[in-house]
Amino acid sequence: MASTSDSDKASVSNVEESRSRLCEEFVAIAGSDSAAAQSYLASNGWEMEKALNSFFEADMERIFEAEDFPETDARPETKRKKVEEKPAEPCIDLTKDSPASSHKLSEEDDGKLSVISWNVDGLDTDNLAERARGLCSFLVLYTPDVVLLQELIPPYVQYLKKRAVSYLIIEGGEEGYFTGMMLKRSRVKLVESKIVTYPTTQMMRNLLLAQVDFKGQKLCLMTSHFESCKGHAQERMKQLRVVMQRMREAPDDVTVLFGGDTNLRDTEVAKVGLPSSVCDVWERLGKQEHCRYTWDTKANNNKTVPYVSRCRFDRVYFRPASKDGVPRLAPDHMALVGLEKLDCGRFISDHWGIYCSFSAG
């Protein structure tokens, strides 16, 4: 009888340990408190994906329910707070050309490709309306051909669709939070897109791919948000291997570009290794110090954490086409964007965005 009792105790202990770990992961992903994590997990049978979907769907539509983002009621008891403290200013209309974009538009006959990759932190709903308008300001300023986004939520996507009609928007999911791509209609033509699921992800992560035509050149665009948190290094490396395999095996007449929030540490990349045909754009352009840290709590205070963390979580990988006679693009510029505070006193995201351009070599 004693052994049975010990076995029962061990079983109960294992369940408690497993549920405690799930709560910790939920808190890390959703930014909630432990009580909310336990509540959502318990009501969804301790299934992480269902619990997160339920959490993110709860009351989110009110964030962007009116075009000009009027004052809203207080958020539920999570990190979601009042979105706006005052009536918002009119939003930027991306359907109109601005003086800032006129120079870029005059260059559209050249073969230069411009890209922005950005984790926009849609999970943080504080000042989200103003931060979304800030993102649109950068789209007007840079008029990038391709925009690769991470941590989108459905209302954020609907806002972009209303404001950025000059872009085709491809979504990497429908519920919770997900990735997305924006393709400038006048420059980039979509051939097909698909979502590749990471089989062992615990955080609803996947790889979004799009085959496109850019001025007669075949491009394969990729974006992803790799597994978060230090303890998920093994899953992150699995996801990097999937991306690298896809990049390596793409046809030789196709140029391949990946940009996203990888959450990678340099030691993890070293363990996986990059194919000889693939380059890390930041490294290829000389490892410029001012572009190193895309997650920098020393300079960016959107997240109030009791420590300083400076990491190169967001990365751009590139594999040029190698077939004879096919135009050969090469990276020629990189800069971080979103470094200025908005009127609300916060930044567009807790991540800096990456702007890159590529020209024919």
Average pLDDT over residues 6-22: 74
Rounded percentage of the chain residues whose pLDDT exceeds 90: 65
d(CA 50, CA 29): 13
CATH number at residue 316: 3.60.10.10
Q: What's the pLDDT at 83?
A: 35
User: Percentage helix, strand, coil, to 5, in the chain?
Assistant: 35, 25, 40
What 304-307 contacts at long range (C-beta under 8 Å, 24+ apart), as own/partner pairs, is none
- Counting the structural domains of the chain, the total is 2
Query: Pick from 78, 68, 90, 71: which is nearest to 27 by CA?
Result: 78
d(CA 336, CA 290): 8
* Shared-domain flag, residues 227 and 327: yes
Q: pLDDT digits over 134-182, tens only? A: 999 999 999 999 999 999 999 999 999 999 999 999 999 988 899 999 9
Average pLDDT over residues 277-298: 97
Q: What's the pLDDT at 74?
A: 34
Least confident window among 37-51, 85-99, 172-186? 85-99
65, part of any domain: no
87, part of any domain: no
For 225, which DSSP code? B
Instruction: Give yes or no for a contact between 107 and 354, defined as CB atoms under 8 angstroms apart.
Output: no
Angle between helix 48-57 and 34-43 (nearest 10):
110
Query: Pick from 102, 70, 105: which is nearest to 89 by CA?
Result: 70
* Shared-domain flag, residues 50 and 168: no
d(CA 172, CA 150): 9
pLDDT band at 9 (very low <50, low <70, confident <90, very high): low
Residue 85 carries which side chain, given as an amino acid letter? E
Instruction: Give yes or no for a contact between 25 and 48, defined as CB atoms under 8 angstroms apart.
Output: yes
Q: What's the pLDDT at 68?
A: 43
326, part of any domain: yes
* Shared-domain flag, residues 24 and 138: no
Query: Pick from 151, 213, 204, 218: which is nearest to 180 by CA?
Result: 151
* Shared-domain flag, residues 263 and 194: yes
Sequence-separated (6 or more) residues with CB below 8 Å from residue 283: none
* Shared-domain flag, residues 14 and 126: no
For residues 59 and 231, the model is more confident at 231
86, part of any domain: no
d(CA 185, CA 145): 8
Catalytic residue among 121, 124, 145, 261: 261
Query: Containing H/E element for 114?
Result: strand 113-119
Residue 282 pLDDT exceeds 80: yes
β-bridge mates for residue 210, sequence order: 193, 221
85, part of any domain: no
Backbone angles phi, psi at 338, to 5 degrees: 85, 20
Quickly tell me which residue has 């908005």 as its tokens.
342
pTM as predicted: 0.78
71, part of any domain: no
* Shared-domain flag, residues 331 and 207: yes
Query: Do you know the residue count of the chain?
Result: 361
pLDDT band at 28 (very low <50, low <70, confident <90, very high): confident
Query: In Å, how far are 55, 117, 157, 221, 240 from 182, measured between CA atoms?
Result: 26, 10, 10, 11, 23
Sequence-separated (6 or more) residues with CB below 8 Å from residue 95: 163, 165, 166
CATH number at residue 37: 1.10.8
Helix (H, G, I), strand (E, B) or coil at 262: coil
Residue 78 pLDDT exceeds 50: no
Sheet (strand 113-119) strand order? 167-171, 178-184, 146-152, 113-119, 353-360, 329-337
Rounded percentage of the chain residues whose pLDDT exceeds 70: 80
d(CA 255, CA 221): 9
* Shared-domain flag, residues 174 and 271: yes
pLDDT band at 79 (very low <50, low <70, confident <90, very high): very low
* Shared-domain flag, residues 190 and 321: yes
Residue 29 pLDDT exceeds 90: no
Average pLDDT over residues 70-89: 37
* Shared-domain flag, residues 45 and 149: no
338, part of any domain: yes
Q: pLDDT digits over 236-253, tens only? A: 999 999 999 999 999 999
Q: How many CB atoms lie within 10 A of CB 200?
A: 11
Q: pLDDT digits over 199-245, tens only? A: 999 999 999 999 999 999 999 999 999 999 999 999 999 999 999 99
β-bridge mates for residue 182, sequence order: 147, 169
Q: pLDDT digits over 316-351, tens only? A: 999 999 999 999 999 999 999 999 999 999 999 999
- Say whether 261 is catalytic: yes
Six-digit token pair at 14? 């294992």
* Shared-domain flag, residues 163 and 283: yes
Supply the range of the domain harboring residue 134. 99-360
| Average pLDDT of the chain, as a whole number | 85
Six-digit token pair at 100? 């800032």
* Shared-domain flag, residues 35 and 114: no
Six-digit token pair at 47? 């299934």
* Shared-domain flag, residues 227 and 333: yes
Instruction: Give yes or no for a contact between 55 and 77, defined as CB atoms under 8 angstroms apart.
Output: no
76, part of any domain: no
pLDDT band at 18 (very low <50, low <70, confident <90, very high): confident
Strand duo 329-337 + 310-311: pairing = unpaired
